[in-house]
Amino acid sequence: MPPKRSATREPRQTRSMQTKQQILAAGTKLFTEKGFHQTNSNEIAKAAGVAVGSFYAYFKDKKTLFIEIMKVHYEEQFRFIELPEENLAGVDRRAMIHRLIKSLAELHNIAPEIHQEQYYLAHTDADIQALIDEWDQAAHALILSYLQRWLADGYLRVKDLDTAVRLFGTTVEENIHALKFSKAEVNETRVINELTDMLCRYLFVEEKNKKSA
């Protein structure tokens, strides 16, 4: 039985932060190799080189640790998908869409097993599903903000932006999952290029038609 604690603590000193990072790294490794249900807190503490009590000082249980790992993963996702240009009117729209899709594909190389595991767990765990939903909403809002700026500049063919974002997200996600998790051999570069062309034709007016759009 784990020791009972009233609350976990947030590390403030360098040594404490290092301890928490060791636990996060060990948890990520074991969840990746063995899966969530086949891993226990004692194993994680041992792999991290810390006492079991130290594990429970920072994490209530292995689920709390897994959710923290998910949050770190999501922070990485936003660093990948944020497009920094302030003035979207002057940039190559196809290049931006291509970069976004390619970045999302590359993101799945960071921890593909964790990505898969979280979706398996979401079917039975409301907290994990809620975190996935929260990220999906934030990603939706971010992409919607790009489309709104393109619409204002007359570059968009679509008018129902909310639906367009949902179709964009679903199309990209399904194709990336097929690339990363399918056992079939697929040329990733070709798929990303064709996916980019397809979405650009759906989203944008041709440059020659921009003024009349």
Domains of the chain, residue spans: 14-60, 69-204
Between these two residues, 102 and 89, which has the higher pLDDT value? 102
pLDDT at 92: 84
Tell me the pLDDT band of 44, cut-offs 50, 70 and 90. very high
Tell me the pLDDT band of 5, cut-offs 50, 70 and 90. very low
pLDDT at 211: 46
Topology at the third CATH level for domain 14-60: Arc Repressor Mutant, subunit A (1.10.10)
pLDDT at 206: 80
Q: Which of 135, 138, 143, 134 is nearest to 162 (CA)?
A: 143
Q: Which CATH superfamily is domain 69-204 in?
A: Tetracycline Repressor, domain 2 (1.10.357.10)
Q: Which two tokens stand for residue 33?
A: 């190799």
Residue 180 has pLDDT above 70, yes or no: yes
For 193-209, what is the mean pLDDT? 87
Of 7-16, 43-52, 192-201, which range is least confident? 7-16
Of 10-14, 23-27, 89-93, 125-129, which range is least confident? 10-14
CB 43 within 8 A of CB 50: no
pLDDT at 88: 62
For 73-78, what is the mean pLDDT? 79
Which residues, other chains included, contact 205 with Cβ-Cβ below 8 Å and sequence gap of 6+?
Answer: 154, 155, 156, 157, 213
For 49-72, what is the mean pLDDT? 94
For 66-80, what is the mean pLDDT? 84
Residue 18 has pLDDT above 60, yes or no: yes
For 175-190, what is the mean pLDDT? 84
Residue 95 has pLDDT above 50, yes or no: yes
Question: Distance (Å, rounded) from C-alpha 44 to C-alpha 28?
Answer: 9
Q: What's the mean per-residue pLDDT of the chain?
A: 84
| Entry pTM | 0.76
pLDDT at 90: 67
